[in-house]
């Protein structure tokens, strides 16, 4: 297949975002699907909050579209606009992939957290049995909390600037996984096996602090940062200097792609 060509045969996936300039996933998605043999392209589209419903309605009529990725700020607002949700997306309460069936029916899934777990496992890390400190209870943090509980971590502690959001997340994860040990806590890594930054701190342009006190990191820990730009965040640099095992945002992204491919029916 000539990967430079986009024709009427090409399967199109949109990626709706606002702003759109920060989007880095479209090339990785396109490369992944093409490597799997699909005549496929993923295209970023700049959709403002006001136009989301119109864009989703239009997607129903775009017959050569397999669906759309959905990112900031649309992951939650898109939920009521869809026909169906996977059980995982319903539980998490947000969507990052929408599948368009041949009849225009739209189904939402959320593979953020499962992608993280898959990426970790592909790197040889089994989350089951680990004591995990999760920093962040935003959109991605929520998805990670459910996926880590599902993966069987020994303990999950959620720390978030807005404490009420951490409390609410812990309550919903505990309700969904009654056997899991889940609680809120401080951004202090002491005693954990794995520390995961799911805040946006460390992103290029987000210089307003660090997600955890680096002095509390130690060499026996796995330190993961889901931020993708820069690839090696301040947290990962500090963790590397301590001799920790590292997991990069890109590994979570790659973990999501195989899940997205299956969900989109490709
Ligand atoms: N690698 C991947 O595949 C992947 C996938 C999805 C997202 N991401 C990345 O993950 C990051 C978070 O995305 P998201 O969708 O979860 O964003 P979000 O819903 O806006 O959540 C942002 C999170 O960061 C926290 N935060 C923001 N500014 C802070 C500050 N100054 N001090 C302390 N905490 C702060 C927020 O805390 P509050 O609740 O207190 O505001 C919240 O927990 C972004 O960098 C995104 O690019 C990566």
Torsion of CA 133, 25, 16, 23, to 10 degrees: 80
Q: Under DSSP, is residue 37 helix (H, G, I), strand (E, B) or coil?
A: coil
What atom in ligand 1 is closest to the CA of residue 71?
Answer: 15
Cβ of residue 22 lying under 6 Å from some atom of ligand 1: no
CB 198 within 8 A of CB 144: yes
Shortest-distance atom of ligand 1 to CA 143:
16
What pLDDT does residue 1 have?
A: 53
Q: What is the per-residue pLDDT for 31?
A: 94
C-beta 255 within 6 A of ligand 1? no
Buried b (16+ CB within 10 A) or exposed e, 179-201: ebebebeebebeebbbbbbbbbb
Report the C-alpha gap between 20 and 50 in whole angstroms: 15
**Was domain 11-110 assigned CATH 3.40.50.10860?**
yes
What integer pLDDT is reported at residue 24 of this predicted model?
A: 78
User: Which residue's CA lies nearest to atom 21 of ligand 1?
Assistant: 138
Residue 134 CB less than 6 A away from ligand 1? no
The confidence score (pLDDT) of residue 22 equals: 78
Residue 49 burial by Cβ neighbours in a 10 Å radius (0-12, 13-18, 19+): exposed
Domain ranges of the chain: 11-110, 113-252
Q: How far is the C-alpha of 80 from the C-alpha of 95, rounded, in Å?
A: 10
pLDDT of residue 2: 59
Q: Report whether the peptide linkage leading into residue 19 is cis, meaning its omega lies within 30 degrees of zero.
A: yes
Q: Looking at the domain 113-252, which fold is it?
A: Rossmann fold (3.40.50)
Tell me: the pLDDT tens digits for 187-224?
A: 999 999 999 999 999 988 777 799 999 999 999 999 99
Indicate if ligand 1 lies below 6 Å from the C-beta of 180: no
pLDDT along the chain (266 residues), means of 10: 80 96 88 94 97 98 97 94 96 96 98 97 98 95 97 98 98 96 98 97 84 98 95 97 97 94 94
Cα distance between residue 143 and residue 76, in whole Å: 12
Is 161 touching ligand 1 by the criterion CB < 6 Å?
yes
* Ligand 1 center to 187 CA (angstroms): 15
In the reported structure, the alpha carbon of residue 141 is separated from the centroid of ligand 1 by a whole-number distance in angstroms of 7
């Amino acid at each position: 297949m000539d990967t430079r060509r986009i024709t009427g045969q090409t399967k199109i996936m949109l990626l709706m975002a606002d702003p759109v300039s920060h989007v880095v996933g479209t090339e990785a998605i396109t490369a992944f699907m093409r490597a799997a043999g699909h005549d496929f392209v993923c295209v970023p589209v700049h959709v403002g909050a006001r136009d989301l419903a119109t864009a989703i309605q239009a997607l129903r009529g775009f017959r050569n579209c397999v669906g759309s990725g959905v990112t900031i700020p649309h992951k939650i607002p898109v939920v009521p606009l869809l026909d169906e949700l996977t059980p995982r997306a319903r539980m998490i309460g947000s969507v990052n992939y929408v599948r368009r069936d041949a009849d225009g029916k739209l189904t939402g899934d959320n593979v953020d957290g499962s992608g993280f777990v898959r990426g970790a496992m592909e790197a040889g890390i089994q989350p089951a049995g680990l004591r995990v400190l999760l920093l962040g209870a935003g959109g991605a943090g929520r998805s990670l909390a459910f996926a880590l509980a599902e993966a069987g971590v020994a303990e999950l502690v959620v720390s978030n600037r807005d404490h009420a959001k951490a409390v609410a997340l812990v309550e919903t994860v505990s309700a969904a996984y009654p056997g899991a040990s889940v609680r809120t806590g401080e951004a202090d890594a002491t005693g954990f096996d794995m520390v995961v930054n799911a805040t946006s701190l460390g992103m290029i342009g987000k210089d307003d602090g660090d997600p955890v006190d680096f002095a509390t990191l130690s060499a026996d820990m796995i330190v993961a940062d889901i931020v993708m730009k820069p690839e090696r965040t301040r947290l990962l640099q500090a963790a590397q200097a301590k001799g920790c095992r590292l997991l990069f945002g890109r590994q979570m992204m790659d973990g999501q792609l195989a899940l997205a491919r299956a969900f989109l029916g490709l």
